[in-house]
A and B are shown apart, each in its own frame.
Chain A
Amino acid sequence: SAVISQKPSRDICQRGTSLTIQCQVDSQVTMMFWYRQQPGQSLTLIATANQGSEATYESGFVIDKFPISRPNLTFSTLTVSNMSPEDSSIYLCSVLAGAYTGELFFGEGSRLTVL
């Protein structure tokens, strides 16, 4: 199983600012997925990050709001830009357990509170 480290684990942010979340995996992975979990809600896929190409965003999410970097096969960042209280959520990085398994491993998540 992959070990996924996310930073920060939690933060309190001011409206209008931006925050970058880091995700580090202990092995090389082709795809990394960023999910959002709003308070008491389910997990919603924000985007898929592939190394060497632009991230693929899901409906309702745009690059200007959630820019993603994927500089190598073990690391990715998600930035939440120009934050508002509606962005208060847990943001989770995840990777596939194997190329064809479908199983996702999740990081511990980054809990953001926007005031």
Chain B
Amino acid sequence: GENVEQHPSTLSVQEGDSAVIKCTYSDSASNYFPWYKQELGKRPQLIIDIRSNVGEKKDQRIAVTLNKTAKHFSLHITETQPEDSAVYFCAASFTGGGNKLTFGTGTQLKVEL
């Protein structure tokens, strides 16, 4: 089955700096790569996703890049703000094979004032 590794486990940045979280996946059949943000005590919520036919996607301060050859993808947050503080999970799935999302281990991002 799919295995997703995520680094770092914790990340502390100053407000206004950029944050980068990296993930690798094992199953070359995976074609969908979402990122979820989970605030304390809340449900995970999708913030951005990318499919295997795209190398990069951007939404305001958030961007995701995908390298299919190396089987890794990254989340980039620019101009970080205190409200970006949360746990971020990457995930991978094959949308033609049951849509089962396999999650990474999570990154606790803290944006300090």
Contact = CB atoms under 8 A, between A and B. Distances in A.
Interface of A: 31, 33, 41-45, 48, 56, 58-59, 92, 96, 100-104, 106-109
A41 to B, nearest CB: 8
Interface residues of B, number: 21
Contacts of A59: 1
Interface string B24-57: 0000000010100000001111100100000000
Contacts, number: 49
A103 B49 contact: yes
Contacts of A42: 89, 103-106
A100 B95 contact: yes
Q: State the main secondary structure of chain B at its contact with A.
A: loop
Interface centre among A33, A43, A96 (most CB of B within 10 A): A43
Contacts of B93: 102
Given A56-B98, A96-B99, 13 more contacts: A31-B99, A33-B101, A41-B106, A45-B102, A48-B98, A92-B43, A92-B44, A102-B34, A103-B49, A106-B43, A106-B44, A106-B45, A107-B43
Given A43-B44, A43-B89, A104 B101 contact: yes
Contacts of B101: 33, 43, 45, 102, 104
